[in-house]
Structure 1
Amino acid sequence: MREFIEETAKTLNVEKHLLEKDILLHQILLDLSKTKICEEFTFKGGSCLIKHYLNYFRFSEDLDFTFIDQGLFKGASQKRIRQMLSKKIQEIGNALEDIAKKRNLDFKFEKHNKRYIEIGSSNKTATFKLWYISIDNMNFFIKLQINFVEKILFPIKKARIRSLAIESKELKFLFPNLYKEYTTKVMFNVYDIREILCEKIRAILTRRGIKERDFIDVYLVSKKFKIDPDALRSEIITKTRFALFLYRKYRQNLDEKTKLLSVDMFPFGSEEPLLLMKIEKSEFYSFLVKFMTFLEKIMKML
């Protein structure tokens, strides 16, 4: 694996530790696509944007999924919902243990061990961490974030998920198995681009602090797909209100966000190490000015 990472990093002219994580993310997606998780969950978030919609403009950090069959919980008591979700968490944990063994990752399905798993909001969310010693001899983890209860507004579709790999006869000859895996396009359920955009904006409003990558993601989606966020105002409000109802901490984060939504305080350049393309700074700045005004209007409606 080390030699494959080193040679591929040279070919792509990228940092080895970033490429290593990308390879692991793709391997995990490939393994998950061969389990029932592939049918029951949909891929979403920044990694879905990168690997399907926006052609690898940056490296991704984690994998995000939502449970598809939201009707399963309709009419069920809170106790029954917790039981159903506990079973789903067990199934995912077991699958990840198998994947960890195959990929030489450190993961144990121990519900009360926060090194490996964090369960929140009465089983409505689960975060799994698969640890590894990086090529630079650092201790890192791959994070899988699962949302079991969500307001899904747009149709889900099947799509091909790609990696950063490019055609290379040399890599194919030297590392046939690893090259084949990394170049394989993975079939998975994915969110509609509008759903991802709405959730990105919701995340900007409800997560602690400010992450430049969220704003870059919204900027690039708006630009490529010609979607004005204001055209999705109703859907953004619906999804954000749903999240605020489910998760109390989000309301506090939203209240604090008023002080942070300022172009003057924006963390410009904080995501540059992860970017694989240059962002037109003046155009991005103009977008931010307009977008932050839009966010202020949305906040007043929540």
Structure 2
Amino acid sequence: MIKQTEIKRISEFHGVPKSQIDKDWVLSYLLYAIISMPELKDIMIFKGGTCLKKCYFPDYRFSEDLDFTILDSQYIFNTRIVNKIMKKATELSFDENYNRGILFKLKKIEPTQSKDEEQGFKVYIHYWGADHRKNDLPSANSISWHHTIKLDINHTEEIIFPVKQLTINHNFSDKLNFVDAIVNSYSIEEVLSEKLRSLIQRKYTSPRDCYDIWYLKNNYENLNWAEIKKAFFRKMESKDIIFEGHEQLLNSKKEKILKHHWENQLQNQFSKENLPDYNTVISELKQFLIKLFEN
């Protein structure tokens, strides 16, 4: 456990809500719990925005959920498995001075589908983290459990690039708990190929996806965009999505939606001073995508 004062100090330093810092701390332990379980550590491949922060860029934007591709398409995430994950995360975060670790409560497990095909599972977990006084405990009613983390697990995704074995970035005073934590993770190229497809696949275009692509193209050196583009087309084909041109990725309709949701979706993940400018990101990203897909 860490002290509530540490949550407050880091929150003030980054200019984001305390709840976001508390969630970031809890996310590390849930991730560590998953990779500590022999039945999961080799088949759960970490990906998405939280992977970028926890495995690549410690000072990256804050994130909300844990996303995975699972290699065993027959593996079923049921209550028994989730309870084991929650119990392990509580054990890993246990502090004798507090006589407890993080507390968890399963909200629900939802199978996910696309075009009548099972895709995986979404698991919603309530948690009671460190943003409380030492002896505060949640009551039995659900109102006290108002913070939630989602695990998004997909078993239909094709992984194209080699998987990376990476350490977990945990920028808190209990970071020594994570010295042996190694997680199987997407490469940056894999992340980008899926992020590009998401611009077309999602029902709504996510500001987070746009920011991530823009940031990575500007800050990660030696990216092989020809290979990323090939992987994008393979991932499109695997989902039976036809590519018709760069206008599918960003267009006036999508830009209108992006602008409307930009600040609302990103404001808790950056300080107000560091919130990326919508016009800059979208203008630069649009020109980049046109060039990338012009041939």
TM-score range (shorter-chain normalised) is: 0.7 to 0.9
Identity over aligned residues, as a percent? 23
SS of 2:104 mapped into structure 1? coil
Distance in 1 (CA, whole Å) between partners of 2:67 and 2:30 is 12
- 3-state DSSP of counterpart to 2:123: strand
Say whether 1:197 aligns with 2:168. no
Partner of 2:37: 35
**C-alpha displacement at 1:23, in angstroms?**
0.9
Distance of 1:206 and 1:189 partners within structure 2: 25
- The reply to whether residue 238 of structure 1 matches residue 234 of structure 2 is yes
1:156 counterpart residue number = 163
Q: Does 1:127 align with 2:119?
A: no
Tell me the alpha carbon deviations over residues 70-95 of structure 1, each in whole angstroms, 9 at most, x when there is no partner.
xxxxxxxxxxx6xx333x65774353
Shift of residue 179 of structure 1? 5.8
Letter in 2 for 1:22: D
CA distance in 2, matches of 1:24, 1:264: 31
Matched residues in 2 for 1:258 and 1:99: separation?
45
Q: Is 2:33–2:89's contact at 8 Å kept on the other side of the alignment? A: no
Could you say which residue in structure 1 is the equivalent of 2:259? 266
Match of 1:96 in 2: 85
Aligned match for 2:284, one of 282, 287, 293: 287
Q: CA deviation at 1:186?
A: 2.4
Amino acid aligned to 1:47: T
Shift of 1:40: 1.6
Matches within 5 A, 1:148-227: 148-165=155-172, 178=174, 180-181=176-177, 184=179, 186-226=181-221, 227=223
TM superposition score normalised by structure 2 = 0.73
Q: How far 1:279 sits from its partner (Å)?
A: 5.8
Could you tell me whether the CA contact under 8 Å between 1:6 and 1:16 is conserved in 2? no
Q: 1:278: how far off?
A: 2.7
Alpha-carbon distance in 2 for matches of 1:43, 1:225: 19
Give the superposition deviation at 1:294. 6.0
The DSSP-based 3-state class of the residue aligned with 1:116 is strand
C-alpha spacing 1:293/1:138, structure 2 compared with 1 (3 Å): farther
Q: How does 1:41-80 map to 2 (within 5 A)?
A: 41-68=44-71
Q: C-alpha separation between the residues in 1 aligned to 2:161 and 2:84?
A: 28
Q: Which has the higher helix share?
A: 1
Equivalent of residue 17 in structure 1, options 16, 19, 33: 19
d(CA) in 2 for partners of 1:105, 1:117:
14
Structure 1 residue 255, shift from structure 2 partner: 8.1
Contact 1:163 1:185 in 2 (8 A): no
Q: In the alignment, residue 26 of structure 1 is paired with which amino acid?
A: S
Q: How far apart, in 1, do the equivalents of 2:149 and 2:105 lie? A: 10
The one-letter code sitting in structure 2 at the alignment partner of 1:144 is L
| Distance across 1 between alignment mates of 2:20 and 2:257 | 30
> What is the CA–CA distance in structure 2 between the aligned matches of 1:141 and 1:45, rounded to whole Å?
18
Give the structure 1 partner of residue 108 of structure 2: 116
Q: Gapped runs of 5+ residues in structure 1?
A: 70-80, 108-114, 166-171, 173-177, 246-253
- Alpha-carbon distance in structure 2 between the residues aligned to 1:262 and 1:231: 27
CA shift for structure 1 position 51: 1.3
The alignment of Structure 1 onto Structure 2 pairs a total of residues equal to 256
Instruction: Letter of the 1:143 partner, please give it.
Output: K
RMSD: 3.4
Q: Is the 8 A contact 1:162 1:184 kept in 2?
A: no
Question: How far off is 1:238 after superposition?
Answer: 1.2
Q: CA deviation at 1:8?
A: 3.8
